[in-house]
Amino acid sequence: MNAQTAARLGRSILKIPDDAPDYPTILHALEAVANRTPDRTALICEDRSITFRQYERAVAGLARRLGVIGAKGERVVVLMTNCMEMPVSILGAMAAHAYVAPMNPNYSDRELIPLLKDADPKVIITIPEFASRAAKAATELGISECIIAGDGVHTIQAWIEEGAGGLPKPLPGADDHAMMFFTGGTTGLPKGAEHRHRNIVAFCRIEAAFFTNAEYDKEVSLSVAPMFHIFGHHHGVIHPIYIGSTHILVKQYKPAVVLEQLSKHKATIFAGGPSTVYVGLLAAEDIKTADLSSLKVCVAGGSPCSEDLLKNWMRVTGCPIMEGVGMSEGAPYANNPAGKTKVLSVGLVPPETEIDIVDLETGTRILPAYARGEIRVRGPQMSSSYRNRAEETANTIRDGWVYTGDIGYFDEEGYLFVVDRKKEMILSGGYNIYPREVDEVLNSHPATLEVATVGVPDSFRGEVPKAFVVLKPGSTVTEEELIAYCKEHLVDYKVPKSIEFRDALPKTGPGKIDKLKLRGLR
């Protein structure tokens, strides 16, 4: 196979449908659907719901408040878990011409403060549950404004009333900054992947090529992924607006609740996310009585689905899982189309997107089918920069190509398979865990001398972190005590599930810890 044939493997055979709107921003889509179907239910969260007209007005009302306090052109951090206030806050900040950074409110201060410093926001929008820590961070970092959504002053209803005049004009443009999603690099330090409005709309248009059985203004969708994650944001905030879908918000993933909501509202699109979500639903007692016959599309991403999982979900629900792959820098960069899925593959190259499998040495030589190399991606859905990270931008995004750090290959039909990761990132239940973050916490304990964290297989989460520890001479500490120490400084999914004590850690020639050998020692 010559280089020209190899290159064609990474060029899409799919087309964006002619009826897929090309809005400048997702705000233009919200305005369009509010005018088209003003009384259609837009959001449902437990016993609350709002129509698309109310949704548009709530976004407009918050945008006006943000404009008054000078948020235009500034960063706005949205610090909350899934709730009705979250999509309104994200879109309200966008409508105020601000640059939105959603963050995980369950991060420890050690994890959260560096992200806030990097984002350097003028405003934090949070909910009462996280008000005290948001206020503490704002005071520590000199952030001038902290809005508590749902505190009796800043409410959905108040925003609706203030937004009766519609979205403030002019709306942002396609090339204006819209979002940043924090990720990590080869160093494991967080960095904000910057997205413009056109990148976000490109995701929606690309999905139209895969969701071929979805109909505008007729669907009911549900996503359980947190909206501070790109999967949860894209499937829980922007895609429902783009297609005019009624969207069901689930505050926290609980299988019984998810199954009840899918059944009650006759959901047609389920963006489950990582494989662990589907495993949990299949294991739930309630699935025996749940009516999932309305499902048309089920989407997975974030961690690979086993062949048994794909078969069992299809057997129980009658709806296949469409597996894809993405990253904080852009999503999807591959997806299985409806009716043409291939087991264990992350799918085909999206429209208007290019993918190459390149050699690991130079990153420029395109490899043929079945040859494994690094996956590089170029497309309208992809980020082109990291905030305040010129060196990382230059290393990862070269000539318009995003070098993903994933190792994969194409088969002869152009289906992409992801088989490994070039980076040492641990992928656990759809979350990225960077070993250095865990190592730094363990190294800060007075009893530890040397630490290395690796991912080990887990039947439920795909991988979980395991730490190898060498203690200082004369020091004593138990596995339980170190795990408890980690829980004080890390969000739960980053805490090692086991710790193994060693007299020494294996080293490479230059004296670096040999994590490949550690993985072999599992």
CA separation for the pair 498, 416 (Å, rounded): 33
Contact by Cβ (8 Å): 24, 205: no
User: How far is 440 from 216, CA to CA, in rounded Å?
Assistant: 48
DSSP-derived letter for residue 239 is H
Under DSSP, the state recorded for 119 is: H
pLDDT band at 4 (very low <50, low <70, confident <90, very high): very low
User: In sequence order, which residues have a C-beta less than 8 Å from that of residue 166 and are 6 or more positions away?
Assistant: 31, 56, 57, 60
Backbone angles phi, psi at 204, to 5 degrees: -65, -40
Contact 269, 219 (CB under 8 A): yes
Give 3-state DSSP helix, strand, coil % of the chain, rounded to 5: 35, 25, 40
Global pTM?
0.86
Q: Which fold has domain 26-37+47-172?
A: Rossmann fold (3.40.50)
Which helix (H) or strand (E) element contains residue 280?
helix 275-283
The model's pLDDT over 430-487, given as tens digits with 9 standing for 90+, comes to 887 878 789 889 989 999 988 999 999 998 999 999 999 999 989 999 999 999 999 9
Burial 320-334 (b: 16+ CB within 10 A, else e): bbbbbbbbbbbbbbb
Do 121 and 192 meet the contact criterion of CB atoms below 8 Å apart?
A: no
SS3 call for 459? coil
The closest alpha carbon to 321, from 272, 276, 358, belongs to 272
**Average pLDDT for the chain:** 93
- The pLDDT tens digits for 276-321 are 899 899 999 999 999 999 999 999 987 778 788 899 999 999 999 9
How much is the average pLDDT of 181-201? 81
Token match 């043929």: residue?
Answer: 368
The verdict on whether omega for the bond into residue 105 sits within 30 degrees of 0, i.e. cis, is no
Contacts of 27 (CB under 8 A, 6+ apart): 59, 91, 94, 95, 167, 171, 172
For residue 111 the two structure tokens come to 């994890």
Q: What percent of the chain stands above pLDDT 90?
A: 81
Return the structure tokens found at 503: 């007299």
* Residue range 215-265, pLDDT digits in tens: 999 999 999 999 999 999 999 999 999 999 999 999 999 999 999 999 999
* pLDDT value of position 516: 74
Largest CA distance in the chain: 72
Give the residue range(s) of CATH 3.30.300.30 domains in the chain. 426-520
Question: Hunting for tokens 């071929």 — which residue is that?
Answer: 212
Q: Give ranges for CATH 3.40.50.980 in the chain.
A: 26-37+47-172
The two three-digit tokens of residue 71, written as one number: 């948020």
SS3 assignment for 83-101: CCHHHHHHHHHHHCCCEEE
Domain 426-520 has CATH 3.30.56.10: no
Chain position carrying tokens 């549900």: 222
**Angle between helix 109-119 and helix 131-141 axes, rounded to 10 deg:** 50
Q: Look at residue 509 and tell me whether its pLDDT is greater than 80.
A: no
Strands 246-249 and 297-300: unpaired
Please state which of the ranges 128-142, 199-213, 292-306, 313-327 shows the lowest mean pLDDT. Answer: 292-306
Residue with tokens 């990153």: 363
